[in-house]
Structure 1
Amino acid sequence: MPKLVTIFGGAGFLGRYIARRMAKEGWRVRVAVRRPNEALHVRPYGSVGQVEPVFCNIRDDASVRAALLGADAAVNCVGTFDKSGKNNFDAVHVDGAGRIARIASEVGIDQLTHISAIGADAGSDSLYAQSKAAGEAAVLEHMPDAVILRPSVMFGPEDQFFNRFGTLARYSVVLPIVGANTKFQPVYVDDVAQAAVKATLGQAQAGSYELGGPDVSTFRELMHEMLRTIHRRRLVLNIPFWAASIIAPISEVVDKLSIGLIPAQITGDQVRSLKSDNIVSDDAKGFAELGIKPTSTETLLPEYLWRFRPSGQFDAIKESAKNLRV
């Protein structure tokens, strides 16, 4: 009987890549999500019945226990950017992560891989970073041999980073950003998935790994790279932190008053997060220790951002046609 892995949040941005890779390794994959009917896209990742979405609410012991029953390993990919509501930072990043680790230990699962984030720090000004650090502590309390992966901002075809600004560049001549000089180390989502699979297969030592791509760039530099890729000229406008600190609470109030119909474009906690660089620490273990060569943004962005070009997939052809002489 093939081994079974339960992937919490296995239908999300990162989770789907882990699910696909685990299926290729021959494992049965249980994708634990709140809305299984919206996760049917994971089924074709393996043979019939190999990858199955199941219901799970990580705020409930019985639900988590049912999702882990019979599993040989578990991966927790669940995360949120919502600091309020039922599925807030503490409920998801701390209590949920701790619950998964505790029950995994109780049912005899030896291998747990937990997805955290670069910048997880109990002393951070950001509530998000604080909750990520608290979640790591909760996991290690019950599963001291867990593997914790801390990726920088992830990119890939379904990302909410480059795609978000690519969409904005279609309709606006200005790209407003906060923290233009803040440094990032974008990491390809499938490289993080590969690291998670190595951990699940027991090919990584217990401990924390900070995962960043091969290049470090400022927020402004990343926006210019994106604009070059989509063949558009736009003004990248830096919003000072003091101004963003005024805009953010107003944006959050509008979000609440509209019941989410007008989502907050930036929150106060995100402003605080953007004051710190999001890069791999000098003394951290990372891709090198896992034997993985990370993919650059330069290699991959043209493969999925082409749709934001003025003429989409035909943009290069039209540009070439301009050079033809009649």
Structure 2
Amino acid sequence: MVRRLQESGISVRVASRHPDRSRAIFDANATKLQFVRADVQDDGEVRAALAGCDGAVNAISLYAEQGSTTFESIHVQAARRIAQLARETGMQRFVHISGIGSDPNSSSKYISARGQGELVVKAAFPNAKRLRPAVMFGPDDRFLKPLSVLISRLPIFPMFGKGETRLQPAFVGDVAHAIADLMQAPDTKANAVECAGPDIYAYKELLEIVADAMRKRVQFVPMPFAAWYALARISSWLPNPQVTRTQVELMEIDNVASSKTPGFSELGIRPTSVKDVLPKIICGS
């Protein structure tokens, strides 16, 4: 996202709790790029990070709750705080990254918080652009890359349910392109955009595509969602849980763009197929 904004000629300020970690990702000599510390719980730091900017992107997310850091505190309260402070500074552009399927009425705490986050952002910053990506893929991602690693090691692969959940993965580079466009788009552009790839796959079908690309023979075995929830409950006691309740909840529902909501085509972007990037993702798996 930062690189895409820079390519568009935009000076970028990256605000995070650990700016040194962010700085290490980029060329130390990069121009028009600044790193600052900002804890989303500290209004003073957030206000200072936003000062002098024409626009902001809220890319903060949380997949597992820990102590006082909850879905409510990050996806709702923090989203509201950032949008309000951005509005108070007189900012002209604000992009809030949510996700396809976000629903304030969902029984899932995570999915509900994402949906509520969209509502509070809209209330605090009426012209905010709300971007909802599908599950994203790309080199070193946390979706296809881990799957390729497991497929390379396991002769038998347990699937979420029967592997029937529909997915429409979006290339991270295309999503970054969309964000850059929304930051520069005229106000007539849609305020909500769903970013999904060109192809819809059943989960099992996607696993088979990865296995075929790796030339691996794997037996994909259905595993009831109830068993996954039990595994997530046990895993939650570990320092770095490999399976979380949120992951299971997300895999229990289709992750497909709505035909009623504008998408990549609204921004003139031709989405990238999984098959075009897959060789780079599985390289070294």
Which category of TM-score, normalised to the shorter sequence, fits these structures?
A: over 0.9
Give per-residue Cα distances to partners, 1:45-69, cap 9 Å, x unaligned.
9x64421221111121111101101
Q: Percent identity?
A: 35
> Are 1:300 and 2:282 counterparts?
no
> Are 1:136 and 2:118 counterparts?
yes
Distance 1:268 1:43 in 2: 33
Q: CA deviation at 1:206?
A: 4.3
Give per-residue Cα distances to partners, 1:159-197, cap 9 Å, x unaligned.
101111112223221222213111110000010111100
Distance 2:243 2:67 in 1: 17
SS of 1:281's equivalent in the other structure is coil
Pair 306,86 (structure 1): closer, same or farther in 2 beyond 3 Å: same
1:67 match:
49
Return the match for 2:206 from 203, 222, 228: 222
SS of 2:67's equivalent in the other structure is coil
Runs of 5+ in structure 1 lacking a partner?
Answer: 1-17, 309-326
> Are 1:264 and 2:247 counterparts?
no
Distance 2:207 2:115 in 1: 29
Q: CA deviation at 1:42?
A: 4.5
Counterpart residue type for residue 119 of structure 1: G
Distance 1:164 1:29 in 2: 31
With normalisation by structure 1, the TM-score equals 0.83
> Are 1:121 and 2:98 counterparts?
no
Pair 108,152 (structure 1): closer, same or farther in 2 beyond 3 Å: same
Distance 1:67 1:225 in 2: 43
Name the stretch that deviates more: 232-241 or 70-79: 232-241
Pair 296,203 (structure 1): closer, same or farther in 2 beyond 3 Å: farther
Pair 198,167 (structure 1): closer, same or farther in 2 beyond 3 Å: same
Number of aligned residue pairs: 283
Contact 2:62 2:74 in 1 (8 A): yes
Distance 1:160 1:250 in 2: 21
Q: CA deviation at 1:75?
A: 0.6
Counterpart residue type for residue 229 of structure 1: A
Structure 1 segments, 4+ long, off by >3 Å, are: none
> Are 1:21 and 2:4 counterparts?
yes
Counterpart residue type for residue 64 of structure 1: V
Structure number with bigger Rg? 1
Runs of 5+ in structure 2 lacking a partner?
Answer: none
Highest RCO, 1 vs 2 (Cα 8 Å, sep ≥ 6): 2
